[in-house]
C-alpha cells in the first residue's frame, strides 16, 4: 500500500438534500468528477462535515465513498472521534469497507494531556490494520500536536503505518521541522486547501488533500510543480490562493459555504445545503469576488 497514498487526494464535500440527509446522486457525480480529472483518491475529513453528521450518516459516507470509488483510486476514511471507542468503530468499518487508510484528528471537546493523546492514537494504530494519517486540524478545531509527539509515533509504528497531515501554524516551517526531525522518513500531506501548496511541495510533501471545489486547479498546479514549470505554477496558484484566502476568513464554515457554492456553480451539486447550525453565510459581495477569481482560475487553466 505504501506508494499508493500520494498525489492529489481531495476531501469530499458531503452533498445534502433539504432535510440535510446525504444526496447520493450528487456524491456519485462528485466522486466521478474527481477521478475523471485525475485525482489519485478521495478522503473524508473536516470539510466533509463529519463532525456534524449523525453516527449512521458518517458510516454511510464511508461506505458510499468506497462503493462509488470502485477501485479507481485510494479511499481514506475519517475516523477521529471524541473517544477511542468511537474512533475504533469508524476504523473497523473502514477496514470492512475496503478503504486504503484512515485519518484521525484528536478529540476536540477538551484539551487532553499528551499521555491520553498517545493512548488514543496508538490504540487506533494497533487495533486497525490500515495506515493511519494523524491529522492536526487545529486551524479549525482542537489543539496543535507537537513535532516530538509525531516523531515518537513514527519511531513506534514506522513510516508505512503512520503518516501525517499537520495543519498547525506556521504550516510551512512545521512541515520542514517534521521532515528534518524524522530525517525525511515522515510521509507528510498538505492540508492548506491549496493556499500553501507551492511552499509545501518544495518542502517535500507526499501529497495534498484539498477540497473538491478547486480540484482541477490543484491537479494542474500539482502537475506544474512536478514538471518544474515555474510560469504555470504561479499563474495557476495565484487565483487559488485568493479564493482560499476568502474561505479562511470564516474558518470551517467559510470553506464550506464557498466550496459548496462553487460545486453548485460547476453543476456537480444541486444544493448548497450545509448541516445546521453554522456560523457564516456567503454574502453577495463575497460571492461576486468568488465569481471573479473563479473566472481567473478558469482562464489560467485554459492557458496552461
State the binding site.
209
Task: State how far the Cα of 264 lies from the Cα of 174, in Å rounded to an integer.
Answer: 35
Beta strands 132-136 and 101-104, pairing class: parallel
Rounded to 10 deg, the angle between the 114-127 and 147-157 helix axes is: 30
Binding-site members for pyruvate are 209
Q: Which of 302, 212, 209 is nearest to 264 (CA)?
A: 212
Taking the CA of residue 287 as centre, how many other CA atoms within 13 Å lie in the half-sphere pointing to its CB?
11
Q: Where does residue 56 rank: exposed (0-12), middle (13-18), buried (19+ CB within 10 A)?
A: exposed
Q: Where does residue 231 rank: exposed (0-12), middle (13-18), buried (19+ CB within 10 A)?
A: exposed
Amino acid at each position: 500500500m505504501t506508494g499508493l497514498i500520494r498525489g492529489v487526494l481531495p476531501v469530499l464535500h458531503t452533498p445534502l438534500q433539504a432535510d440535510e440527509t446525504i444526496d447520493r446522486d450528487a456524491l456519485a457525480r462528485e466522486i466521478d468528477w474527481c477521478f475523471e480529472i485525475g485525482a489519485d483518491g478521495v478522503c473524508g475529513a473536516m470539510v466533509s462535515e463529519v463532525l456534524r453528521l449523525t453516527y449512521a450518516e458518517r458510516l454511510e459516507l464511508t461506505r458510499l465513498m468506497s462503493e462509488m470509488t470502485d477501485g479507481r483510486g485510494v479511499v481514506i476514511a475519517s475516523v477521529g472521534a471524541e473517544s477511542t471507542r468511537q474512533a475504533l468503530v469508524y476504523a473497523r468499518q473502514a477496514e470492512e469497507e475496503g478503504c486504503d487508510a484512515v485519518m484521525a484528528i484528536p478529540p476536540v471537546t477538551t484539551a487532553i494531556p499528551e499521555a491520553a493523546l498517545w493512548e488514543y492514537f496508538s490504540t487506533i494504530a494497533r487495533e486497525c490494520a490500515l495506515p493511519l494519517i494523524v491529522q492536526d486540524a487545529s486551524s479549525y478545531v482542537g489543539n496543535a500536536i507537537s513535532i516530538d509527539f509525531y516523531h515518537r509515533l513514527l519511531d513506534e509504528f514506522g513510516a508505512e503505518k503512520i503518516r501525517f497531515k499537520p495543519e498547525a501554524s506556521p504550516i510551512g516551517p512545521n512541515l520542514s521541522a517534521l521532515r528534518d526531525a524524522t530525517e525525511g522518513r515522515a510521509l507528510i500531506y498538505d492540508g492548506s486547501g491549496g493556499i500553501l501548496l507551492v511552499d509545501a511541495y518544495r518542502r517535500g510533501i507526499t501529497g495534498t488533500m484539498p477540497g473538491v471545489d478547486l480540484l482541477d486547479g490543484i491537479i494542474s498546479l500539482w502537475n506544474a510543480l512536478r514538471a518544474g514549470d515555474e510560469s504555470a505554477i504561479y499563474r495557476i496558484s495565484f487565483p487559488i490562493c485568493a479564493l482560499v484566502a476568502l474561505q479562511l476568513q470564516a474558518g470551517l464554515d467559510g470553506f464550506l459555504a464557498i466550496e459548496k457554492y462553487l460545486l453548485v456553480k460547476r453543476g456537480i451539486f444541486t444544493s448548497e445545503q450545509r448541516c445546521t447550525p453554522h456560523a457564516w453565510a456567503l454574502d453577495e459581495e463575497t460571492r461576486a469576488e468568488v465569481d471573479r477569481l473563479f473566472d481567473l482560475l478558469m482562464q489560467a487553466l485554459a492557458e496552461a
